Amino acid sequence: MVDIVVMRAISSDNEAHAKEVRKALDRNKVAGLNLISSPGSGKTTLLVKTIQDNPGLKFGVIEGDVYTSRDAERIEKTGAPSVQLNTEGSCHLTASMIETVLPKLDLTKLDYLMVENIGNLICPSAFSLGVHKRVVLLSTAEGSDKVLKYPQAFNTADVVLITKMDIADVVDFDVKIVEDDLKAVNPKIEPWRVSAVTGEGLDRWYDWLKGLHA
Ligand code: MG
Ligand code: ZN
């Protein structure tokens, strides 16, 4: 059974809650990641694939969704512990939500806490969750123009993954535009191309993940 917690966003000191989350993660040597993207860009698919391909790494997952526990059910099938966080209308996760559901995961048994944020490229990037890294996904199906349309999502990213590279040609996706736009908003990084279907680029993603624990 998927553990479901329903929480609405309440205004509070987000940074104070983020500090508490970070303390709990650091105390247990857990690397925390905040996954941000539009709906349908493949966050859950990438998580499932990442968990399945790396049996030696211990992942725990917080699945943020406005409604339903469908994504947490997909994670649960991998055997990784997961919690579904339903925001009932709120379009982003807050640090207070993470702090509240964190005790449902046994951090002493985890290497990574993967937080799948609510699917949108606007407000999730405005709220720190207390985790260590921010990963932004952009699928080829969404088109090449999103970086400049949602710069705040991309300029705070530690890693940008272009997902669904296997269908890039079919949907006429231009990687060069994303690379150039990202140079303008976040020159420290370049986008990594991945496909959960063909496996393209996943080794680099996995190596980066492992590096967070080195
Ligand atoms: Mg999902
Ligand atoms: Zn929001």
Distances (CA, A) of 25 to 72, 105, 112: 21, 11, 9
* Domain 3-211: assigned CATH number: 3.40.50.300
How does DSSP classify residue 162?
E
Residue 96 has pLDDT above 70, yes or no: yes
Name 113's Cβ contacts closer than 8 Å, sequence gap at least 6: 25, 30, 31, 32, 33, 59, 60, 61, 62, 105, 107, 131
Cα 107 to middle of ligand 1, angstroms? 22
Q: Where are the domains of the chain?
A: 3-211
Cα 139 to middle of ligand 2, angstroms? 21
Ligand nearest to the CA of 122: 2
Minimum mean pLDDT range among 12-21, 50-59, 104-113: 12-21
Q: 206 — phi, psi (to 5°)?
A: -65, -40
Residue 8 has pLDDT above 80, yes or no: no
- Angstrom distance (rounded) from CA 203 to CA 197: 13
Cα 95 to middle of ligand 2, angstroms? 13
- Angstrom distance (rounded) from CA 174 to CA 62: 32
| pTM for this predicted structure | 0.94
Cα 40 to middle of ligand 1, angstroms? 7
Band (pLDDT 50/70/90 cuts) for residue 11 is: low
Cα 129 to middle of ligand 2, angstroms? 13
Q: What is the pLDDT of residue 114?
A: 98
Ligand nearest to the CA of 87: 2
